[in-house]
Amino acid sequence: MSEMTRRSFLPLMGAAAAGVAPARPNILLILADDLGYSDPGCYGGEIDTPNLNRLARGGVRFTQLYNCARCCPSRAALMTGQYPHRVGMGNMTGGKPRPGFPGYSDRVSADAPFLPAVMKKSGYTTLMSGKWHLAQPGPIDRGFDEFYGMLHGFDSFWDSSKYTRLPAGRPKREYSRFHATEAITDHALDFLVGARREAKPWFLYLAYNAPHFPLHAPKELIDKYEPVYAKGWDVLRAERYERMRRLGLVDKRWPLTPRSVVGPNRVSTPNGWAAKQNPPWDSLDADRRRDLARRMAVFAAMVDQMDRNLGRVIGDLEAKGDLDNTLVLFTSDNGACAEWDPFGFDISSGPQNVLHRGEQLAGMGQPGTYHSTGSAWANLSNTPWRLYKHYTHEGGISSPTIAHWPRGLSGRGTFNHQPWHVVDVMPTLAGVAGAEAPAGLSGADVSAMFAGKRPKRGPIFWEHEGSRAVRDGKWKLTAVYPKGEWELYDIEADRSEMRDLAGAQPERVKAMVGMWEKWARENQVVPWIWEPQYPAAQ
Q: Is residue 401 part of a domain?
A: yes
Mean pLDDT within 114-140: 97
Give me the pLDDT at residue 101, please: 81
Give the pairing of strands 420-421 and 60-66: parallel
Say which residues have a Cβ less than 8 Å from residue 534's Cβ, sequence separation at least 6: 510, 513, 514, 517
Please provide the DSSP assignment of 293-348 as one string. Answer: HHHHHHHHHHHHHHHHHHHHHHHHHHHTT-GGGEEEEEEESSS----SSTT--BGG
- CA distance linking residue 70 with residue 49, whole number of Å: 24
pTM for the model? 0.93
- 1 band by pLDDT with thresholds 50, 70 and 90: very low
Q: Rg for the chain (alpha carbons), in Å?
A: 22
pLDDT digits (tens, 9 = 90+) for 437-461: 999 999 999 999 998 888 888 999 9
- CA distance linking residue 380 with residue 384, whole number of Å: 8
Mean pLDDT within 317-332: 98
- 137 band by pLDDT with thresholds 50, 70 and 90: very high
Q: Is residue 404 part of a domain?
A: yes
Decide: 102 and 524 in contact? Cβ < 8 Å.
yes
What length is written for the chain?
Answer: 538
Give me the pLDDT at residue 74, please: 98
Q: Is residue 510 part of a domain?
A: no
Q: Is residue 411 part of a domain?
A: yes
Mean pLDDT within 467-485: 90
Mean pLDDT within 315-332: 98
Give me the pLDDT at residue 262, please: 81
Give me the pLDDT at residue 466, please: 87
- 176 band by pLDDT with thresholds 50, 70 and 90: very high
- CA distance linking residue 18 with residue 20, whole number of Å: 6
Q: Is residue 132 part of a domain?
A: yes
| pLDDT higher than threshold 90 for residue 217 | yes
Give me the pLDDT at residue 20, please: 41
Q: Is residue 492 part of a domain?
A: no
Q: What does the DSSP 8-state code read for residue 164?
A: E
Mean pLDDT within 190-204: 96
Supply the CATH number for residue 182's domain. 3.40.720.10
Which residues are registered as beta bridge partners of 402? 61, 330
Give the CA count within 13 Å in the CB-facing half-sphere of 499.
Answer: 12
Detail the DSSP E strand segments found in 359-516. Answer: 398-404, 414-416, 420-421, 460-464, 467-472, 475-479, 487-490
Average pLDDT over the chain, rounded to whole?
A: 90
Q: Is residue 466 part of a domain?
A: no
- 15 band by pLDDT with thresholds 50, 70 and 90: very low
- Domain carrying residue 84: 3-458
Give me the pLDDT at residue 268, please: 40
Which residues are registered as beta bridge partners of 150? 131
| pLDDT higher than threshold 90 for residue 296 | yes
Q: Is residue 506 part of a domain?
A: no
The packing angle between helices 219-229 and 286-319, to 10°, is: 130
| pLDDT higher than threshold 90 for residue 40 | yes
- 4 band by pLDDT with thresholds 50, 70 and 90: very low
Give me the pLDDT at residue 162, please: 97
Name which residue leads in pLDDT, 164 or 5. Answer: 164
| pLDDT higher than threshold 80 for residue 133 | yes
For the chain, the domain total comes to: 1
Mean pLDDT within 24-32: 98
pLDDT digits (tens, 9 = 90+) for 241-255: 999 999 999 999 999
- 536 band by pLDDT with thresholds 50, 70 and 90: very low
Q: Which residues are catalytic?
A: 71, 133
Please provide the DSSP assignment of 387-409 as one string. Answer: --TTS-SHHHHEEEEEEE-TTT-
Mean pLDDT within 131-154: 96
